[in-house]
Amino acid sequence: MLLRSAPPEHMPKMPRGWGWQIKLGCLAALVALYGGFMWHVAHQKIRPIMERVDIPVAVVAAPIPPAPPSPPIAMQPAPPLAVTAPPVLPGSVEHRP
């Protein structure tokens, strides 16, 4: 087989302007096939029989022993009030010139 960059002269030519119609026809055929298949699947009379199956399994685990009590938290005393300076607020009455 020879590789050519142009088709041979005796190859039949497709009429101009039919490309979009052929593509549209192929798309319509695919949509019709898919729609027919989906309709068939949705409307088939044979339905799967669903049964309840009980499988005996022990679901409850052994009880977990309680955790040991946490140690008490040692609280530090608050600093004395004389050590901390009062906050300076802008626009307060005491600091106006």
For 58-83, what is the mean pLDDT?
84
CA angle 75, 80, 84 (to 5 degrees): 115
Instruction: For residue 88, tell me if it sits in a domain.
Output: no
Q: Which residues contact 95 (CB under 8 A, 6 or more apart)?
A: 88, 89
pTM of this prediction exceeds 0.75: no
- Count the domains in the chain: 1
Tell the residue number behind the tokens 């030519």, with chain if given: 13
Residue 1 resides in a domain: no
> Residue 24 belongs to what domain range?
19-43
| Domain presence at residue 11 | no
Query: Which has more pLDDT, 44 or 59?
Result: 44
Residue 32 lies in a domain: yes
Say if 14 falls within a structural domain: no
The number of beta carbons lying within 10 Å of the beta carbon of residue 92 is: 9
Round to whole Å and give the CA distance between 36 and 22: 21
Asked if the structure places residue 33 within a domain, the reply is yes
Give domain status of residue 37, yes or no.
yes
For residues 65 and 48, which has the higher predicted lDDT (pLDDT)? 65
Q: Whole-angstrom Cα distance, residue 14 to residue 33?
A: 26
Q: Is residue 91 part of a domain?
A: no
